């Protein structure tokens, strides 16, 4: 893909990446090899690539900075890591997969017998061909993750162990992309950028957020949209701590994760349970007749739990396909680019677009002719329906909007009560507003 995100070819002779789904999948493939963590150059390299698609404002927060009840940790970077046998063969090699190293491992350079090395090895006995993803952010440890079958094949003897890493004062890095709206009230879209080679559990969310931002930037949305690319947990907490003066502007929000697998869509409500974003996602998913599940809020999961913590209590939900820990490939080497599909990411993107289209157009109106039904024909409103295949539905939408335009009911209220498509109701409201029969 070209730096400005336009359609490009992979290599000469191959077909162009023509669809957003294909372009998102190409972005996932490009980001996949990078070793990300909650801090470090892997995060910066990830944001540099995203910046080629949408311009980012990058923030660097120094180690030791107090952020709410947390402290920005030391920065971790890694250059190489391996376990080598007596002949010097690398039986475990960080260059082959960034999952091979326990995240935030302290440096080590030793030779030790297999019996001692085993204490620092992590496997999945029930999934013997897969490499697990493990971290130790806040406890100084070192370790390697490998397939159980690889471990089983290692003979007794001495092994050279090397983790060429640094854990030192530095920065936590996060980035924002802002699309100005007609009003300063904000919708935040958040995704985590801290996982290494895991295609569904973070890269698909990054890709969907990136292309959602590109599409919204082609419009003039009602709300201001703020996209947050931050490490999980401590990154979101850092953003909240540094944006206290902006919190009251945040009216709605969505966390994107696990956005590219073949499972049905899942929406997790905000802590409030009845925030406008909750109602919008329920309506959009139901109206689209997509297979889906609506889940209640729990204080476990992704960064929705930070935005929804009781001191902030923002109306932020979470959209995914198969939820975290809900698929066998979760946090393993099987969560690779082959596990996510262009079609699934395109579908997730489409739902976001549909939801934000509702959110942006959901208004409350007041009927300016509330005493009896106004004469619609005299104003040409009935004539405007001529030839429409849904003329009867459109007429009913006008009547429902007039009936419920009391300053208390939103257009989403009208759509739900009348069992009509939101777009039909919004078009009816536009027509009535143009005729001077209602006002926002």
What the block records as the tokens of 179 is 């699309």
Cβ-Cβ contacts under 8 Å for 344 (sequence gap 6 or more): 204, 259, 260, 261, 262, 321
Q: Do domains 20-72+171-360 and 76-168 have the same CATH topology?
A: no
> How high is the pLDDT of residue 384?
64
Write out the chain in H/E/C secondary structure: CCCCCCCCCCCCCCCCCCCHHHHHHHHHHHHCCCCCCCCCHHHHHHHHHHHCCCCCEEEEEECCCEECCEECCCEEEEEEEEEECCCCCEEEECCCCHHHECECCCCEEEEEEHHHHHHHEECCCCCCCCCECCECCCCCCCCEECCHHHHHCCCCCEEEEEEEEEEECCEEEEEEEEECCCCCCEEEEEEECCCCCCHHHHHHHHHHHHHHHHHHCCCCCCCEEEEEEECCCHHHHHHHHHCCCCHHHEEEEEEECCCCCCCCEEEECCCCCCCHHHHHHHHHHHHHCCCEEEECCCCCCCCHHHHCCCCCCCCEEEEECCCCCCCCCCCECCCCHHHCCHHHHHHHHHHHHHHHHHHHHCCEEEECCCCCCCCCHHHCCCHHHCCCCCHHHHHHHHHHHHHHCEEEEEHHHHHHHHCCCHHHHHHHHHHHHHCCCEEC
> How do the domains of the chain map onto residue ranges?
20-72+171-360, 76-168, 364-439
pTM flag (> 0.75): yes
The per-residue pLDDT for range 273-332, each reduced to its tens digit, is 999 999 999 999 999 999 999 999 999 999 999 999 999 999 999 999 999 999 999 999
The per-residue pLDDT for range 189-229, each reduced to its tens digit, is 999 999 999 999 999 999 999 999 999 999 999 999 999 99
CATH numeric code, 76-168? 3.50.30.90
In the predicted model, what is the mean pLDDT of residues 369-397? 80
In the predicted model, what is the mean pLDDT of residues 408-428? 95
Asked whether 9 and 15 are in contact (CB, 8 A), the reply is yes
In the predicted model, what is the mean pLDDT of residues 85-104? 97
In the predicted model, what is the mean pLDDT of residues 58-64? 98
Give, in words, the CATH class of 20-72+171-360: alpha beta
Give, in words, the CATH class of 364-439: mainly alpha
């Amino acid at each position: 893909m070209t730096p400005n995100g336009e359609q490009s070819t992979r290599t000469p002779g191959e077909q162009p990446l023509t669809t957003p789904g294909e372009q998102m999948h190409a972005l996932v493939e490009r980001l996949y090899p990078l070793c990300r963590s909650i801090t470090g150059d892997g995060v910066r390299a990830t944001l540099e690539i995203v910046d080629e698609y949408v311009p980012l404002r990058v923030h660097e927060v120094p180690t030791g900075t107090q952020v709410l009840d947390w402290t920005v940790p030391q920065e971790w970077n890694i250059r190489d890591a391996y376990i080598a046998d007596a002949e010097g063969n690398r039986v475990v090699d960080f260059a082959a997969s960034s999952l091979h190293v326990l995240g935030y491992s302290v440096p080590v350079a030793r030779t030790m017998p297999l019996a001692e090395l085993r204490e620092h090895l992590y496997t999945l006995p029930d999934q013997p061909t897969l490499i697990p993803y493990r971290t130790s952010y806040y406890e100084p440890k070192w370790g390697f993750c490998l397939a159980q079958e690889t471990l089983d094949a290692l003979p007794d003897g001495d092994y050279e162990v090397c983790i060429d890493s640094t854990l030192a004062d530095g920065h936590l890095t996060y980035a924002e992309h802002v699309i100005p709206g007609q009003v300063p009230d904000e919708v935040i879209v958040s995704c985590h950028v801290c996982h290494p080679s895991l295609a569904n559990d973070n890269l698909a969310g990054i890709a969907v957020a990136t292309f959602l931002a590109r599409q919204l930037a082609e419009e003039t949305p009602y709300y201001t949209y703020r996209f947050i690319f931050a490490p999980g947990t401590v990154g979101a907490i850092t953003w909240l701590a540094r944006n206290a003066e902006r919190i009251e502007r945040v009216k709605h929000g969505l966390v994107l994760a696990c956005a590219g697998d073949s499972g049905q869509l899942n929406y997790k409500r905000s802590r409030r349970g009845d925030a406008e974003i909750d109602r919008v996602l329920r309506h959009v998913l139901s109206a689209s007749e997509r297979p889906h599940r609506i889940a209640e809020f729990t204080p476990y999961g992704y960064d929705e739990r930070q935005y929804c913590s009781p001191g902030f209590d923002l109306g932020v939900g979470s959209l995914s396909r198969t939820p975290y820990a809900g698929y066998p490939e979760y946090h393993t080497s099987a969560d690779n680019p082959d596990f996510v599909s262009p079609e699934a990411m395109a579908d997730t993107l489409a739902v976001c677009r549909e939801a934000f289209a509702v959110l942006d157009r959901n208004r409350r109106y007041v009927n300016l002719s509330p005493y009896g039904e106004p004469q619609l024909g005299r104003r040409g409103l009935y004539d405007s329906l001529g030839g429409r295949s849904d003329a009867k539905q459109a007429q009913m939408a006008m009547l429902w909007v007039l009936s419920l335009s009391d300053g208390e009911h939103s257009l989403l209220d009208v759509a739900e009560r009348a069992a009509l498509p939101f777009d039909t109701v919004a078009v009816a409201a536009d027509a009535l507003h143009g005729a001077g029969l209602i006002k926002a």
